[in-house]
């Protein structure tokens, strides 16, 4: 079964300590409909409200139909990719949360067997080795001896969530209280502290990437997926798990201050995707992976972990300003979890459950409606196709595929808490 982690509001003492030293160095089964007894005072610091569905009536029925059609379409979709980000490991989580626990177990056993035969590869959370290991840990299925041993608690050279140290830390969080997992988490915090350039982390652009087109040299990535917001959210989880607590809190406070002064002086969405010498200052697209919304979610949960009520309210206001953009203004081109409408809707749903702010509830419903309007008859998988620089294509996986879209819709239409979004660093609110 899914392990639940404490979501207690950490005391002001942590914050005081961090500031004071800153100058020194069973399986879930869906049940539809019940709603908004959740509403609470905005900005309150405390544990999140019980999870409840937010989609009712015709919108809820459309969401439930789409989930069913995704399940049917995935069963027939050929996929050789085993990974968590783009392949079959994402579908295992989707089926588990849909209440198909026997089917999920069968598919996970198959993936574990196939993963044993894979050559060693870098420990990337969204890849085939560590990604499948995270799924096994999250579902409580699969023993350590079933897992590809190499790299389970190794640290990558990158620092980010998708490929780096933060991703390795997210996997280790899922395996607490194993002593090896705690020791890995300590190494993650140490590695982040050692590799920081001040309070942020440099990235060298890869040839051919969109970052290379914008940045002539190294840059600072501000997003959740590949950058600083992901580190901020992870450090909040390290504080909550009492791993290198004072070092993690100190680094967290500095990183949040560094991040907030990168806001652009504009009325709407204000965080750039990347900053650096020679990089034109412009707000990012609207998404979980990059931009104001993902940053707002990271700020809300880190602030909650640190007991900073004022900053929680600031995070909610950042999210609301971002969510007011239309899909065209936000450059939202598909329904995906990573940078599409379902991801936006799910982040807003998470933040609503964390804060009780009814404006977030309304925005989440609007973005779920937009998610479903991305469906096209006789196209994609169950009507959903992913946008990419080379055009639209069919994607089964978690990050930009229909498994992720299905999980977000399930979370909105049922009272099953989406603890799977720990892999997106969204559950610490």
Q: Which helix (H) or strand (E) holds 115?
A: helix 101-116
Binding range to Zn ion, per CB under 5 A, among 32-40, 133-141, 258-266, 333-341: 333-341
Is 147 or 293 the residue whose CB approaches Zn ion more closely?
293
- Whether residue 236 contacts residue 301, with contact meaning beta carbons closer than 8 Å, is answered with yes
Mark residue 77 as left, alpha or beta (left: phi above 0; alpha: psi -120 to 50; beta: remaining).
beta
Shortest separation between residue 253's beta carbon and Zn ion, angstroms = 27
Is 147 or 289 the residue whose CB approaches Zn ion more closely?
289
Does 64 bind Zn ion (CB under 5 A)? Our answer is no
Shortest separation between residue 306's beta carbon and Zn ion, angstroms = 27
Is 383 or 401 the residue whose CB approaches Zn ion more closely?
401
Shortest separation between residue 203's beta carbon and Zn ion, angstroms = 15
Residue 110's alpha-carbon distances to 115, 174, 381, in angstroms, are 9, 21, 23
Site string for Zn ion, 5-24 (x = CB under 5 A): --------------------
Q: Which of 145, 105, 147 is nearest to 130 (CA)?
A: 147
Shortest separation between residue 281's beta carbon and Zn ion, angstroms = 21
Binding range to Zn ion, per CB under 5 A, among 94-102, 282-290, 348-356, 368-376: 282-290
Is 123 or 294 the residue whose CB approaches Zn ion more closely?
294
> CB-based contacts of 2: which residues, under 8 Å, 6+ apart?
28, 138, 139, 140, 419
Shortest separation between residue 387's beta carbon and Zn ion, angstroms = 10
Shortest separation between residue 196's beta carbon and Zn ion, angstroms = 24
Does 289 bind Zn ion (CB under 5 A)? Our answer is yes
Answer positive or negative: Cα dihedral of 162, 66, 385, 132: positive
CB atoms within 10 A of CB 376: 11
> CB-based contacts of 5: which residues, under 8 Å, 6+ apart?
173, 176, 237, 240, 241, 422, 427, 428
Is 27 or 284 the residue whose CB approaches Zn ion more closely?
284
Q: In whole angstroms, what is the distance from residue 379 CA to residue 377 CA?
A: 6
Q: Which residues ranging from 137 to 166 are in contact with Zn ion (CB under 5 A)?
A: none
Total number of residues that touch Zn ion (CB under 5 A): 3
Is 305 or 350 the residue whose CB approaches Zn ion more closely?
350
Does 338 bind Zn ion (CB under 5 A)? Our answer is yes
Q: In whole angstroms, what is the distance from residue 172 CA to residue 190 CA?
A: 14
Is 199 or 273 the residue whose CB approaches Zn ion more closely?
273
- Whether residue 155 contacts residue 187, with contact meaning beta carbons closer than 8 Å, is answered with yes
Q: Which of 419, 421, 426 is nearest to 50 (CA)?
A: 419
Does 285 bind Zn ion (CB under 5 A)? Our answer is no
Task: At 98, list the tokens.
Answer: 């849909």
Does 339 bind Zn ion (CB under 5 A)? Our answer is yes
Strand, helix or coil for residue 392: strand
Does 293 bind Zn ion (CB under 5 A)? Our answer is no
Is 151 or 404 the residue whose CB approaches Zn ion more closely?
404
Shortest separation between residue 285's beta carbon and Zn ion, angstroms = 9
Does 84 bind Zn ion (CB under 5 A)? Our answer is no
Binding range to Zn ion, per CB under 5 A, among 12-20, 100-108, 155-163, 330-338: 330-338
Residues at the site binding Zn ion, with contacts judged by CB under 5 A:
289, 338-339
């Amino acid at each position: 079964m899914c392990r639940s982690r404490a979501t207690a509001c950490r005391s002001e003492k942590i914050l005081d300590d961090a500031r004071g030293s800153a100058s020194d160095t069973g399986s879930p089964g869906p049940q539809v409909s019940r709603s908004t007894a959740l509403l609470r005072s905005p900005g309150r610091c405390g544990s999140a409200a019980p999870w409840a569905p937010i989609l009712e009536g015709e919108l809820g029925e459309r969401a439930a139909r789409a989930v069913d059609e995704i399940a049917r379409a995935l069963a027939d979709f050929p996929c050789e990719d085993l990974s968590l980000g783009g392949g079959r490991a994402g579908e295992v989580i989707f089926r588990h949360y849909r209440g198909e626990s026997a089917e999920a177990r069968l598919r996970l056993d198959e993936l574990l067997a196939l993963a044993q035969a894979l050559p060693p590869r870098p420990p990337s959370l969204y890849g085939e080795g560590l990604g499948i290991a995270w799924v096994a840990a999250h579902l409580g299925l699969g023993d350590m001896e079933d897992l590809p041993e190499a790299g389970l608690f190794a640290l990558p050279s990158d620092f980010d969530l998708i490929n780096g140290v933060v991703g390795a830390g997210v996997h280790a969080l899922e395996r607490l209280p194993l002593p090896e997992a705690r020791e890995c988490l300590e190494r993650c915090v140490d590695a982040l502290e050692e590799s920081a350039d001040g309070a942020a982390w440099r990235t060298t652009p890869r040839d051919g990437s969109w970052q290379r087109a914008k940045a002539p040299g190294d840059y600072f990535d501000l997003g959740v997926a590949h950058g600083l917001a992901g580190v901020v959210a992870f450090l909040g989880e390290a504080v909550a798990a009492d791993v290198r607590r004072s070092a993690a809190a100190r680094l967290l406070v500095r990183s949040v201050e560094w991040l907030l002064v990168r806001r652009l002086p504009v009325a709407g969405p204000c965080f750039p995707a990347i900053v650096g010498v020679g990089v034109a200052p412009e707000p990012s697209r609207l998404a979980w992976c990059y931009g104001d919304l993902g940053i707002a979610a990271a700020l809300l949960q880190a602030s909650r972990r640190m007991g900073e009520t004022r900053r929680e309210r600031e995070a909610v206001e950042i999210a609301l300003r971002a969510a007011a953009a239309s899909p065209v203004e936000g450059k939202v081109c598909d329904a995906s979890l990573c940078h599409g409408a379902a991801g936006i809707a799910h982040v807003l749903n998470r933040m609503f459950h964390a804060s009780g702010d009814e404006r977030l509830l309304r925005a989440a419903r609007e973005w779920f409606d937009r998610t479903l309007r991305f469906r096209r008859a006789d196209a994609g998988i169950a009507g959903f196709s992913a946008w990419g620089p080379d055009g639209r294509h069919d994607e089964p996986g978690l990050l930009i595929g229909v498994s992720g879209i299905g999980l977000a819709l399930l979370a909105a239409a049922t009272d099953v808490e989406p603890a799977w979004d720990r892999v997106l660093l969204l559950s610490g609110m």
